[in-house]
């Protein structure tokens, strides 16, 4: 199982629950549509994300990433975390962007490895690593993605949001 995380313009989805006499009740939810941007960061081996505004990490992968980078409460604090509801959708702010940028700066200070996927999992890689050795930092990839798309949403969207499908 995984999260489906999207960053972009808030969108209202309406549904009509049909009953026998063609009357029904409208229900709605908020979401963010999928999109690609040729200028978005794209990391070798990260084909599922590519240049898109969505990521699909496993539940434990994303929560571990958040814990390692002191972002757990920002994402999962009950009622107010930007991914505290599943599914759910929350407004993104300049403060979120600042937190993501500060986290990347901190990450760069404590880990000199470049952003990228763990080379052990990249097919046909020319990099040879010892068993258990990681040559890149995937947390930086996630942070760069969060920064790029949050910044994009704040500049281009009337209602910048992060959706957790």
Q: Where are the alpha helices (DSSP H) in the chain?
A: 59-68, 72-76, 94-110, 138-156
Could you tell me which residues come within 8 angstroms of residue 160 by beta carbon, excluding any fewer than 6 positions away? 7, 8, 9, 10, 91, 92, 93, 150, 153, 154
The separation between CA 117 and the C-alpha centre of its own chain, rounded to angstroms, equals 16
- Tokens coding 16: 């009509």
pLDDT in tens, the chain (165 residues): 789 999 999 999 876 565 555 566 677 889 999 999 999 999 877 888 999 999 999 999 999 999 999 999 999 999 999 999 988 999 999 999 999 999 999 999 999 888 887 655 544 444 454 555 667 888 999 999 999 999 999 999 999 999 998
Q: Where are the domains of the chain?
A: 5-164
pLDDT of residue 20: 54
The separation between CA 7 and the C-alpha centre of its own chain, rounded to angstroms, equals 7
pTM summary value: 0.85
Residue 79 region, left (φ>0) first, then alpha (ψ -120 to 50), else beta? left
pLDDT of residue 86: 86
């Amino acid at each position: 199982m995984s999260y489906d995380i999207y960053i972009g313009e808030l969108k209202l989805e309406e549904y009509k629950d049909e009953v026998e006499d063609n009357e029904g009740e409208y229900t709605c939810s908020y979401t963010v549509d999928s999109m690609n941007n040729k200028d978005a960061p794209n990391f070798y081996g990260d084909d599922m994300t590519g240049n898109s505004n969505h990521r699909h990490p496993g539940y434990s992968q994303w929560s571990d990433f958040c814990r390692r980078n002191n972002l757990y409460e920002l994402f999962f604090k009950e009622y107010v975390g930007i991914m505290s509801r599943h599914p759910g959708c929350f407004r993104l702010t300049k403060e979120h962007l600042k937190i993501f940028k500060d986290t990347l700066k901190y990450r760069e200070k404590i880990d000199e490895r470049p952003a990228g996927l763990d080379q052990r999992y990249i097919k046909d890689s020319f990099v040879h690593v010892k068993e258990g050795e990681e040559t890149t930092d995937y947390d930086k990839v996630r942070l760069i993605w969060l920064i790029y798309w949050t910044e994009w949403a704040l500049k281009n969207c009337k209602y910048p949001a992060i959706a957790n499908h």
